[in-house]
Amino acid sequence: MKIAFFTDTWLPNVDGVVNSMLLQRRELERRGHEVFIFASGTTHDRSRNGDDHVFVHRGFRVPPYPQYKLAFFPIPTALKQARDAGIEVVHCHAVASMGVAAIAAAKMWNLPLVGTFHTMIPQAARYLTGNLTGQRFLTEAAWRAIGLFYSPFDAVIAPSHVIRQELVDHGVNKVDVVANGIDAKRFNPEVSGAAVRRKLHAEKKKIVLIAGRMGFEKNIDTIIKAAPFVLESDDALFVFTGKGPAKTRCQKLARELKLGGNAVFTGFVPDELLPQYYAAADLFVTASTFETQCLVLYEAMACGKPVVGADALAIPEAVRDGETGFLFKPLDERDCADKISHVLEAKPAEAAAWSKNCRKLAERKTAAASVDGLLSVYEREIRNKGK
């Protein structure tokens, strides 16, 4: 089968969408399928591309997220590329210009059109204004736009059950649940975190890890505000990895709260080192209220680490209270601190049980399981097109 992935984000970007596509592509190709990437990028990205199955369409950077690009009218070129490649299924991972190109290619060549809903755009729209009326207007407008965008799709994929319900509630039909996968072999409890602990000078401290892109919607400030309460009773090091538009504000807040050496901002951590950071941690925390699945939670759990997360959207599907970690009230730093301290102060037997449960749940979220679901959707829609 020849499959086209259309996306607004691709290498050298490193984010959840890119990582999901990379794992799915690798697994699909392992099974004998061909995957072609239709992506937006800069002129530099195009010149560096050496993969004949990747088509980079020149675009411009999007402030305040310059790692994302919007392609300049990619439709004519994408149509020809899809035809020449013999594409049989179009899988859209985008909602901007490459998403429109995906719809055009599927319509022009009468191909099954499948789309994965990766990002809670309606929630992101709220960050464009501080006015409550404006936020409601933008959220409602975003949902209307999403409904219109997905109306020509043969199937829409939600990465979690709660997101499927959100889509259905807002008028998006034909929604399947197929979780994005993680590499459960690379992220595993046998990985050593000793080198990272030495690097952080934290051989004897408890480590609270917060990893991923530092966007405002991740509510990292909630965790920073929780830190002083945790430090009243626990000798802990809060490790913030990643970069993004909220990093400067988070660093400023940490200074204002006088966290000093109890908070470290590492900046971007290379993908190959991430398992070691998970391994070094005693627990993983996210305060995001924005997640459609939250792959970093599953990566942490695959390494046997308990997780603490905001009780919002897809987080409760990973953080099962008392089994794989604990949920806290969104944006409530005191509740967040209480749950972090609960994990840090757990007895060894309780911590071991959490670790075992985490690994067991993460093993259900592999790339192989994800691709099983994708192929089921692809094959069904190919049959439907043949009717």
User: Which is more confidently placed, 68 or 227?
Assistant: 227
116 confidence band (pLDDT: 50, 70, 90): very high
Q: Rg (Cα) of the chain, in Å, rounded?
A: 21
Instruction: Dump pLDDT digits (tens) for 174-190.
Output: 999 999 999 999 999 99
**In sequence order, which ranges of 109-180 are alpha helices (DSSP H)?**
121-124, 132-150, 161-169
Q: Among residues 225, 228, 209, 221, which one has the least CA distance to residue 250?
A: 221
Instruction: Dump pLDDT digits (tens) for 117-159.
Output: 999 988 777 666 677 788 888 899 999 999 999 999 999 999 9
- Region 289-300: what's the mean pLDDT? 95
The CATH fold assigned to 2-181+366-386 is Rossmann fold (3.40.50)
Check whether domain 194-362 has CATH 3.40.630.30, yes or no: no
Q: What residues does CATH 3.40.50.2000 cover in the chain?
A: 2-181+366-386, 194-362
User: Which is more confidently placed, 136 or 98?
Assistant: 98
Q: Among residues 1, 80, 67, 82, which one has the least CA distance to residue 37?
A: 82
- Region 269-293: what's the mean pLDDT? 96
C-alpha distances (whole Å) from 205 to each of 146, 197, 211, 231, 280 are: 46, 9, 18, 11, 10
Instruction: Dump pLDDT digits (tens) for 13-57.
Output: 888 899 999 999 999 999 999 999 999 998 888 889 999 999 999
Compute, in degrees rounded to 10, the torsion defined by CA atoms 244, 310, 366, 69: -30
Examine residue 270 and say whether the peptide bond preceding it is cis (omega within 30 degrees of 0).
no
Instruction: Dump pLDDT digits (tens) for 323-369.
Output: 999 999 999 999 999 999 999 999 999 999 999 999 999 999 999 99
Helices (H) and strands (E) in the chain, counts: 16, 14
Structure tokens at 8: 């607004």
Structure tokens at 85: 């490649």
pTM, full prediction = 0.92
Q: Residue 68 above 80 pLDDT?
A: no
Alpha carbons 116 and 125: distance in angstroms, whole number: 19
- Region 306-320: what's the mean pLDDT? 96
Contact (Cβ atoms closer than 8 angstroms) between residue 276 and residue 191: yes
Q: Residue 91 above 90 pLDDT?
A: yes
60 confidence band (pLDDT: 50, 70, 90): confident
